[in-house]
Amino acid sequence: MSTDYNDGRVAVITGASSGIGEAAARELAADGYRLALLARRADRVEALAAELGNGALAIEADVTDRDSIVAAAERVKNELGGADVLVNNAGVMLLAPFSSEQRVEIRQMVEVNLLGAMTTTEVFLDQLRDGGGDLVNISSVAGRTARPGSSVYNATKWGLGGWSEALRQELQPDVRVMVIEPGAVATELTDHITHADAKRAAEQLYEEVAITAKASPR
C-alpha cells in the first residue's frame, strides 16, 4: 500500500530490465513511487513501464555511456520533475581466474559495476540534492568476502562500498547514501559468465543457495 510520503516521489533504477532491478521497480511502484526505468534492453523496460503505469518512463540507457545517462537525466527532469531516489543496480558478474585472457571481462566489470554507478550518480546528483534524495547502491556480500575466481568482481564491490561510505559522509544531510549487500540471488548474472568452469561452479552454487529476486532485501 502506498503512503502519502512516497506518492509522487520519483525513483530512477538502472539495470531495471530484469532481476533485482525489475523486482525493485515493482516494489517501489506498489509503494507509490513514479519510476524511470533505465536499461540497455529497451523492449523489456518498455513492457515493464506499460505494466506498472503511473507515468513510468522506459529509457534505453547504458551506464558505461555517459551521454546516454545525461539524456536519461534530462528526460527524468523534464517529464517527471527530477529524481528523488537513484538505485544503482546495473551490474555484471563475469567470474573467472584472473588472467590476461579475461581482460575484456575485467574491464567490463569495472566499467559497469563501479564506474557506471559513479557516472550515473554524478549525472543525477544535482537532482538528488534538490529533492533531499536517497542514493541506493546495490553491492553484494562479495564486497566483504572474497573467493578464487571472483577477484575483479570482489574489487568492484569493495570499491563500491568504500566510495559509498565516503559519499555518505560527504553528501549528508542533503542526500542519504546507503549500500545493500545481498547474497546469491537468482537473476541473469550467471548467464553471462564466459569462463566455462567458473560458469558451471556459479550455476551449481546458485542452484543450491540463491533466493529469488522478489524475495531479496533489495
Kindly report the length of the chain.
218
For residue 85, which of 29, 162, 165, 3 has the smallest C-alpha distance? 29
Place 194 in a pLDDT band, splitting at 50, 70 and 90.
Answer: confident
Confidence of residue 6 (pLDDT cuts 50, 70, 90): low
CA distance 107 to 35: 30
- DSSP, collapsed to helix, strand or coil, labels residue 134 as strand
90 within 8 A of 112, measured Cβ to Cβ = yes
Residues 143, 209: Cα–Cα separation, whole Å: 18
Query: Quick one: pLDDT band at residue 214, thresholds 50, 70, 90?
Result: low
Tell me, rounded to whole angstroms, the distance of Cα 48 from its chain centroid: 16
46-104 pLDDT, tens digit per residue, is: 999 999 999 999 999 999 999 999 999 999 999 999 999 999 999 999 999 999 999 99
pTM: 0.89
Looking at per-residue pLDDT, the higher value among 192 and 3 belongs to 192
- Is residue 153 among the annotated active site residues? yes
Query: Where do the domains of the chain lie, and which CATH numbers do they carry?
Result: 10-215 (3.40.50.720)
Contacts of 118 (CB under 8 A, 6+ apart): 163
Question: Tell me, what's the pLDDT at 7?
Answer: 66
pLDDT for 24-39, tens place per residue? 999 999 999 999 999 9
Would you call the peptide bond into 148 cis, given omega within 30 degrees of 0 as the criterion?
no
**Mean of the pLDDT values across residues 133-137?**
97
Mean pLDDT of 195-211: 79
DSSP, collapsed to helix, strand or coil, labels residue 180 as strand
The grid coordinates of residue 129 equal: 540534492
Distance CA 16, CA 136 (A): 14
Contact 126, 175 (CB under 8 A): no
Amino acid identity of residue 49, one-letter, is A
Catalytic position from the list 5, 33, 153, 206: 153
Per 3-state DSSP, what percentage of the chain is helix, strand, and coil (rounded to 5)?
A: 55, 15, 30
Residue 218, pLDDT above cutoff 70: no
Contact 42, 50 (CB under 8 A): no
Percentage of the chain lying above the pLDDT 70 cut? 92
| 197 has pLDDT over 70 | yes
